[in-house]
Chains A and B, each alone.
Chain A
Amino acid sequence: GENVEQHPSTLSVQEGDSAVIKCTYSDSASNYFPWYKQELGKRPQLIIDIRSNVGEKKDQRIAVTLNKTAKHFSLHITETQPEDSAVYFCAASMGGGSQGNLIFGKGTKLSVKP
């Protein structure tokens, strides 16, 4: 089955700097890669996703890149703000039917220092 590795487990940056979180996946059939943000005591929320027919997707300060050959994808946050502090989870799935269940990474705790 699919296995998702996520690094680093913790990340601390200064406000205004960029943050990058990386994930690798094992199953080349995976074709959908969402990222979730979980603030302390709150539910995970989808912040951005990418499908395998796209190499990069951007939404304001957040971007995700996908390298299908290397089977890795990354979350990039630019101009970080204190409210970006949270745990970020990457996930992978094959997108349809019983193979579409999301397999999550272990999470990255991002701390943005003012």
Chain B
Amino acid sequence: ETGVTQTPRHLVMGMTNKKSLKCEQHLGHNAMYWYKQSAKKPLELMFVYSLEERVENNSVPSRFSPECPNSSHLFLHLHTLQPEDSALYLCASSQGTGSYYGYTFGSGTRLTVV
């Protein structure tokens, strides 16, 4: 384990369901990120939190709702998703909002929307 844990590893949900993805880090990092990884596309930044405050939202649809209750935990709440939202959702953390030291990624949640 690298210190960033994501659960669940796999999730299948219907378009009318509500589910949440969880990310936890014990590296003492102050920034956490949600990325979406789809086939043949770059890693897409969705949300950035620094010291529990959201600092960036890259025009993500409102059916994705992040929550960062403390610097160690990050959630992504999902509701009324579309099939095109099926992807690998990666959480990452870094020492600050700045990436001089690189990101540590979690293993991701493989989401399938049916």
* Interface residues of A, Cβ cutoff 8 Å to B: 4, 9, 32, 34, 36, 42-46, 49, 51, 89, 91, 93, 95-98, 100-107
Contacts and interface: CB of A to CB of B under 8 A. Distances in A.
B42 A97 contact: no
24 contacts: A32-B100, A34-B103, A42-B107, A43-B107, A43-B108, A44-B103, A46-B102, A89-B42, A91-B99, A93-B98, A95-B99, A96-B98, A96-B100, A97-B98, A98-B48, A98-B97, A100-B97, A101-B33, A101-B45, A102-B43, A102-B99, A103-B42, A103-B45, A104-B43
Given A95-B98, A101-B97, A106 B105 contact: no
Of the four ranges (under 10, 10 to 19, 20 to 34, 35 or more), the interface on chain B belongs to: 20 to 34
A36 B42 CA distance: 12
**When A and B form their complex, which 8 residue pairs have the shortest distance between CB atoms, in order from nearest?**
A100-B98, A96-B98, A46-B102, A104-B43, A43-B105, A104-B42, A106-B42, A93-B99
B108 to A, nearest CB: 6
Contacts of B41: 106
Interface of B: 2, 4, 33, 40-43, 45, 48, 55-56, 90, 96-100, 102-108
Contacts of A46: 102-104
Contacts of A34: 99, 102-103
A102 B103 contact: yes
Contacts of A89: 42-43
Nearest to A47: B102
B89 to A, nearest CB: 12
Most buried by A among B33, B43, B99, B107: B99
Nearest to B106: A43
